[in-house]
Amino acid sequence: MSSLDKFPEWNSFEMKDMPGNTTILSPSAEIASDLQRFAKILKASQDKAEAENNKNVESAVPLAIMVYKFDLALKMYESKLKEISEKKSDVYKHLRVLKDQMIEYFIEAGFEIIEPIGLSFEDVADSVYIQHWRHDEKFSSEVVDEVLNPIIKHNGRVVEFGRVIMGAPPEQEIDA
pLDDT digits (tens, 9 = 90+) for 49-71: 989 888 888 889 999 999 999 99
pLDDT of residue 3 exceeding 80:
no
Parent domain of 37: 30-168
Please report whether residue 80 resides in a domain: yes
The structural domain count of the chain equals 1
Let me know if residue 91 belongs to a domain: yes
Spatial separation of the C-alpha atoms in residues 133 and 107, rounded to whole Å: 31
Condensed to tens digits (0 to 9), the pLDDT of residues 77-99 reads 988 888 887 766 788 888 999 99
Residue 31, classified by CB atoms within 10 Å of its CB into exposed (0-12), middle (13-18) or buried (19+), is exposed
151 in a structural domain: yes
Confidence (pLDDT) at 89: 76
20-38: per-residue pLDDT in tens?
A: 776 777 888 889 889 999 9
The answer to whether position 157 is within a domain reads: yes
Residue 102 lies in a domain: yes
In a domain, 4, yes or no: no
Using alpha carbons, list the distances in angstroms from residue 116 to 4, 79, 103, 122, 135: 87, 25, 17, 12, 18
Q: Does residue 149 form part of some domain?
A: yes
